[in-house]
Amino acid sequence: MPDFPYARLRRRPDVEAANLQAYDATDALLVGRALESGVPGHEIAVIGDAYGAITLPLTDAGLTGIRVHQDLATGRRALALNAEELGLAGFSPHELDGSLLDGARLVLLQLPKALAELEEIADAVARWAAADVVLVAGGRVKHMTLAQNDVLGRSFARVQPQRAERKSRLIVATEPRAVPAQPPYPVRAHHEGLVLVAHGGAFAGAKLDIGTRVLLDVLAELPGSSPASVRTVVDLGCGTGALAVSAAIAHAGARVVATDRSAAAVASARATAEANGLADRIEVTHDDAGSRIPDASVDVVLLNPPFHLGSSVHTGAATRLFEAAARMLRPGGELLTVFNSALAYRPELTALIGPTEQLRRTPKFTVTRSIRR
């Protein structure tokens, strides 16, 4: 296996920190397995390559035509930037659909955190890839569970975990089973007049997560703004789009933008908007922290920020979204945020946005309103 300069890979534009790497041992194991297989590049699909640590070593080894699906907009940008930095090409981006998997004989997968996301991926591989496809999934041993084997077993007759190496393990799935007429995702659920639709990779699935529920309760109790005063509302990190739908209903004349860096979330939010009869009122974009929204152009930002980056607890993701809200809000505009009470974001919000008041605090969640100075 040829040497590859993994240490030169960067996470940008995602959060970069001393304890956050752009690669791990699982990437190298997947690359090694692919090179040993002899499968040509145009018959290889890569799913979940966070920053290019699977795709770029394969192209560096001379394989071309590799198809890649990354859920996160930040990962897609990082792969492009790392490829440019290293002078590599030979791959093409795809969504999780037939164009990614048609004729694929080898699929390399960094195991996702959510079992629902793994189920949707496994079904897609069995549904669209070649009949003799081999799915090689890998992860860090400390994050792997027997439930992942069970999920893979729903779509493949043979699921064989391999011996752990360097604290990582591969699982090889072969012999795809017959797939149902309809894919298992997206799913939908009704919540007191609101319909949520979710793909497997969307946070909380079709459930209304607790933080969003608390924020929605607070929004329902706030004094209503005059229609003319709220022209643009952004659901930043929209997930399945519950806040965007609520905003579209509350502000009938406003432009509502739902944006998320997750492709699964974006597909879910679009489907949620359609299910609630609001597809023509809500613009949904796949973007990194709303980077395409003009500066000082937004009246209200709604935000339920994440506090994980992959499997790491890290507040950097929330900080990037606070900074994004500060950029896009007009002077006097409002950021309404819900977050884990233990994280105590209020001083940071005051520094980045402006005067911040607490609207509600429960043992688990706090809701604040920040006014852009």
Assess contact for 124 and 96: CB atoms under 8 A.
yes
Q: Region 83-95: what's the mean pLDDT? A: 98
The predicted-structure confidence for 91-112, as pLDDT tens digits, reads as follows: 999 999 999 999 999 999 999 9
**What pLDDT was estimated at residue 262?**
97
DSSP 38-58: T--GGGEEEE--SSSTTHHHH
Instruction: Please name the residue that has the structure tokens 């979940």.
Output: 48
pTM of the model: 0.94
Residue 18: count of CB within 10 angstroms of its CB:
5
**Sequence-distant (≥ 6) Cβ neighbours of residue 360 within 8 angstroms:** 214, 217, 218, 366, 367
Could you tell me which of 79, 71, 132, 77 has the C-alpha nearest to residue 96? 71
Could you tell me which of 40, 39, 38, 99 has the C-alpha nearest to residue 68? 99
The predicted-structure confidence for 15-29, as pLDDT tens digits, reads as follows: 898 889 999 999 999
Q: What is the mean pLDDT of the chain?
A: 95
d(CA 23, CA 10): 9
Q: Which of 123-127, 232-236, 341-345 has the lowest mean pLDDT?
A: 341-345
Q: Which domains are seen in the chain, by residue range? A: 6-176 (3.40.50.150), 187-371 (3.40.50.150)
**What pLDDT was estimated at residue 314?**
47
**What pLDDT was estimated at residue 306?**
83
CA 97 to chain centre: 16
The predicted-structure confidence for 265-301, as pLDDT tens digits, reads as follows: 999 999 999 999 999 999 999 999 999 999 999 999 9
Q: What percent of the chain has pLDDT over 70?
A: 96
Could you tell me which of 48, 54, 84 has the C-alpha nearest to residue 69? 48
- Asked whether the predicted pLDDT for residue 329 surpasses 70, the reply is yes
Q: How many residues would you count in the chain?
A: 373
**What pLDDT was estimated at residue 311?**
46
